[in-house]
A and B are shown apart, each in its own frame.
Chain A
Amino acid sequence: GIQVEQSPPDLILQEGANSTLRCNFSDSVNNLQWFHQNPWGQLINLFYIPSGTKQNGRLSATTVATERYSLLYISSSQTTDSGVYFCAVEQKSNYQLIWGAGTKLIIKP
């Protein structure tokens, strides 16, 4: 099946810093989604982004489907951005979402 790799696995930053998270996938996909899991376990959908670029406030995402990767940008980090960021891709063969292992982000005040 398809492999999804996220990097870096862990990231510690000071409040106000910018960051880039990467998601690589091993085959063509129907779509790609980014999620944030907060320290209390709640999962929130950030972006549905099969290709192109989207922005939502301080967050933006870019997917280059032909090169099989996606990037999530977080600008001017806040402590509330802490948590784990997951990307998930939908397989063409069976429409199931396959998840990466996540990037754990800690923002220090």
Chain B
Amino acid sequence: DADVTQTPRNRITKTGKRIMLECSQTKGHDRMYWYRQDPGLGLQLIYYSFDVKDINKGEISDGYSVSRQAQAKFSLSLESAIPNQTALYFCATSDSGLEADTQYFGPGTRLTVL
């Protein structure tokens, strides 16, 4: 079984709809991240969480919100989706030990906003 899972894997929605992307991990890591990737570009950090009570904004948090329901679960919400949020979204985790910041990624969610 995959260590980091994301649901759904693909989603098509309409402008103005509320969308939630979910991430679960079995690696036992404290730290979790949400990124978006636009075509031909690297990843940009949306939000990150170093433990259940810690939530931090990344480079591009506007239009997004997150919830860390448990150590293993980190959800990303788009309250009112817009077309320029069409992208590939990745969840990642990392540990807090040696080489703590080595990040492990889920398979991604491809989101299309029409």
Contacts and interface: CB of A to CB of B under 8 A. Distances in A.
19 contacts: A35-B105, A41-B110, A42-B107, A43-B90, A43-B92, A44-B105, A45-B104, A86-B42, A88-B42, A88-B43, A95-B101, A96-B45, A96-B58, A97-B33, A99-B42, A99-B44, A101-B41, A102-B41, A102-B42
Nearest to B41: A101
Contacts of A86: 42-43
Interface of A: 4, 30-31, 33, 35, 41-45, 48, 86, 88, 90, 95-97, 99-102
A99 B43 contact: yes
B37 to A, nearest CB: 8
Interface in B43-60: 43-45, 48, 58-59
Given A86-B42, A101-B40, A102-B41, 9 more contacts: A31-B101, A33-B101, A42-B107, A42-B108, A45-B103, A48-B99, A86-B43, A99-B43, A100-B42
Nearest to B59: A96
Interface string B4-27: 000000000000000000000000
Interface string B61-85: 0000000000000000000000000
B113 interface: no
Interface residues of B, number: 22
A26 to B, nearest CB: 15
A101 B42 contact: yes
Contacts of B92: 43
Contacts of A100: 42
A55 to B, nearest CB: 16
A102 B41 CA distance: 7
B36 to A, nearest CB: 11
A96 B40 contact: no
Contact of B103 (A30, A97, A101): A97
Contact of A41 (B33, B45, B108): B108
Going nearest first, the 7 A-B pairs with the smallest beta carbon separation are A99-B42, A43-B105, A48-B102, A48-B99, A99-B43, A41-B108, A101-B42
